[in-house]
């Protein structure tokens, strides 16, 4: 039986859930038009963009976090802009965690949406166009409803992936209690202190949470399969 979490670990859990929720909402908003463009564009630049989107899948998280730290830091291109706008810098802040997590989880949002939009096919959109539906109307009334399973899959994968991040959030956010110390970093602290009981409690939360999310994803997939004629 797991022991109750202390105040610091409870704060890390709440921060992680908040981070995963914010990243999921923002990333779906950004990934949707990007996935739509990749699904239907004939531009030669699509391959380059697709490779850039998938890069976090193969790039070590610490490498990604390091370069984000440089770019977003006070001497980086983005950091200079944010300072000029009197917004400070993003590293070692919750906003920085959001930016880093969005980039790290981008392929987990784009790929399911891309596959869902491709599955919609051009025929449905051409029929809607023949009925004088405009591009936005075709997208909102035809593509989005038919691609709903892709949206659900993307949301679950992004949320679960963000919950378990370590390398990027540690490099970009550090280990500030109540501000950037997420669940994975708090667990690492317990392991370093050889407090394996507390580490086990946090690890179990992430394992069970991820399992429940993936189980729900599998259940949705089975339901869709059963509903097909």
Q: What domains lie within the chain, and their CATH numbers? A: 7-39+49-227 (1.10.3720.10)
- pTM (global) more than 0.85: yes
Q: What is the pLDDT of residues 92-125, one digit of tens each?
A: 999 999 999 999 999 999 999 999 988 887 777 7
Q: How far is CA 192 from CA 188, 199, 200, 204, in A?
A: 6, 10, 13, 17
pLDDT band, residue 228 (cuts 50/70/90): low
**How large is the average pLDDT for residues 185-206?**
91
Q: Does 105 or 2 have the greater pLDDT score?
A: 105
**The pLDDT value given to residue 84:** 87
Q: What is the pLDDT of residues 131-172, one digit of tens each?
A: 666 777 778 778 888 888 899 999 999 999 999 889 899 999
The set of residues, in sequence order, having a beta carbon less than 8 Å from that of 17 and lying 6+ positions away, is: 163
Distance separating alpha carbons of residues 213 and 155, to the nearest angstrom? 10
Q: Does 227 or 27 have the greater pLDDT score?
A: 27
């Amino acid at each position: 039986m797991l022991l109750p979490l202390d105040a610091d670990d409870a704060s890390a859990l709440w921060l992680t859930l908040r981070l995963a929720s914010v990243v999921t909402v923002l990333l779906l908003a950004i990934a949707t038009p990007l996935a739509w463009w990749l699904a239907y564009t004939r531009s030669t630049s699509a391959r380059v963009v697709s490779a850039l989107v998938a890069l976090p899948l193969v790039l070590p998280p610490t490498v990604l976090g390091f370069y984000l730290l440089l770019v977003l830091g006070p001497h980086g291109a983005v950091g200079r802009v944010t300072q000029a706008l009197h917004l400070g810098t993003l590293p070692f802040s919750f906003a920085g965690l959001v930016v880093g997590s969005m980039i790290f989880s981008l392929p987990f949002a784009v790929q399911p949406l891309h596959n869902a939009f491709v599955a919609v096919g051009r025929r449905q959109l051409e029929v809607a166009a023949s009925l004088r539906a405009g591009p936005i109307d075709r997208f909102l009334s035809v593509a989005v409803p038919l691609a709903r399973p892709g949206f659900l899959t993307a949301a679950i994968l992004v949320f679960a992936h963000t919950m378990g991040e370590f390398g990027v959030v540690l490099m970009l956010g550090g280990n500030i209690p109540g501000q950037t110390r997420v669940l994975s970093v708090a667990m690492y602290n317990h392991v370093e202190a050889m407090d394996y009981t507390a580490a086990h409690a946090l690890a179990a939360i992430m394992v069970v949470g991820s399992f429940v999310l993936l189980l729900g994803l599998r259940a949705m997939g089975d339901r869709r399969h059963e509903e097909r004629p």
